[in-house]
Amino acid sequence: MKVINIILTLLFILFAAVQLNDPDPWLWVAIYGLVAGVSGFAIFQKYNKGVVYLGIAICIIGLAILFPELINWMNMGTPNIVETMKVERSYIEFVREFFGLAISLVTLLFHFYQIRKKT
């Protein structure tokens, strides 16, 4: 598990770093930073249940807010969202944010199950 947590920590630090040029960097750096922090502490088997639960709640709320945009994107026939890094259509940013939150949620759920397994 230590190697997985090291990889997750580095990955989410990278995710946070590339958000610095985003229109709302503080939000995404905070979310990805939280997941990186949880993963970093998990390397040493240190978990804060409250932080993990808070992160899960934030991700679920964010996914619920962005879900209509995902449905809209799917109704359009799922046009390419990775063709260019430049956001030319609003749905591109929303769908990317949705998937970023989904990845964060899966990671936090992984840590949630590690906490449960540990106790």
48/50 Cα distance (integer angstroms): 5
Taking the CA of residue 101 as centre, how many other CA atoms within 13 Å lie in the half-sphere pointing to its CB? 21
40/9 Cα distance (integer angstroms): 5
pTM: 0.91
Residue 91 near residue 67 (C-beta atoms within 8 A):
no
Task: Return the number of other C-beta atoms located less than 10 Å from residue 14's C-beta.
Answer: 12
- The secondary structure of residue 21, as a DSSP letter, is G
Structural domain boundaries of the chain? 2-118
What residue has token string 């962005």?
Answer: 66
Phi/psi for 17 (5° steps) reads -65, -40
pLDDT in tens, 22-51: 878 999 999 999 999 999 999 999 999 999
pLDDT in tens, 84-102: 655 667 778 889 899 999 9
Q: How confident is the model at residue 14 (pLDDT cuts 50, 70, 90)?
A: very high
60/84 Cα distance (integer angstroms): 27
User: Is residue 72 predicted with pLDDT exceeding 60?
Assistant: yes
Mean of pLDDT values over 8-14? 98
Q: How confident is the model at residue 10 (pLDDT cuts 50, 70, 90)?
A: very high
